[in-house]
Amino acid sequence: MTDYSFKQEEIGFVLHEPKADEGFLTPQPKERFIRLPEVRRRTGFARSTIYLHISLGIFPKNRKLGARSVGWVESEIDAWIKTRMEQGQ
What's at 41, amino acid-wise?
Answer: R
With the CA atoms of 77, 78, 80 and 86 taken in that order, what torsion angle do they form, in degrees rounded to the nearest 10? Answer: 160
Separation of alpha carbons 60 and 80, rounded Å = 7
Q: Tell me what the mean pLDDT of segment 7-18 comes to.
A: 52
pLDDT in tens, 48-82: 999 999 999 999 999 999 999 999 999 999 999 99
Q: Give the mean model confidence (pLDDT) for residues 32-50.
A: 97
Q: Average the pLDDT over 14-30 and give the result.
A: 59
Which phi and psi angles does 72 have, rounded to 5°?
-115, 145
